[in-house]
């Protein structure tokens, strides 16, 4: 019984590509605060949909940047959605 939950999470990760625990940040989310802290280039005013769209635009090259294009290329749409949901949680 104790091995069921970890196996369920592993199966979920294989099927969806992401696993998000209640208050645990999804993979890659905590690195955002390195540049996007509240006192710098804050993401606080953006909705989750706006963050996902920005990540998609960076990934496709539709939005220019010096760094974000390379960072966004490393995330799938599902991962970007999980990160956006975590960043905009209340």
Q: Is residue 60 part of a domain?
A: yes
Supply the range of the domain harboring residue 29. Answer: 25-87
Taking only the tens place, the pLDDT of each residue in 28-67 is 898 888 888 877 778 888 999 999 999 999 999 999 998 9
pTM, full prediction: 0.70
Q: Residues near 27 by Cβ (< 8 Å), separated by ≥ 6?
A: 18, 79
User: Residue 4's CB: how many other CB atoms inside 10 A?
Assistant: 8
CATH classification of the domain holding 77: 1.10.760.10
DSSP 41: S
Q: How many domains does the chain have?
A: 1
Is 2 part of a structural domain of the chain? no
For residue 50, tell me if it sits in a domain: yes
């Amino acid at each position: 019984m104790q091995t069921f939950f970890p196996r369920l999470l592993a199966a979920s990760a294989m099927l969806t590509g992401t696993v998000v625990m209640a208050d645990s940040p999804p993979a890659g989310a905590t690195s955002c605060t390195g540049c996007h802290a509240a006192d710098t280039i804050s993401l606080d005013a953006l909705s989750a949909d706006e963050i996902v769209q920005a990540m998609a635009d960076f990934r496709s090259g539709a939005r220019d940047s010096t760094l974000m294009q390379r960072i966004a290329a490393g995330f799938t749409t599902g991962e970007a959605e999980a990160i956006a949901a975590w960043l905009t949680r209340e």
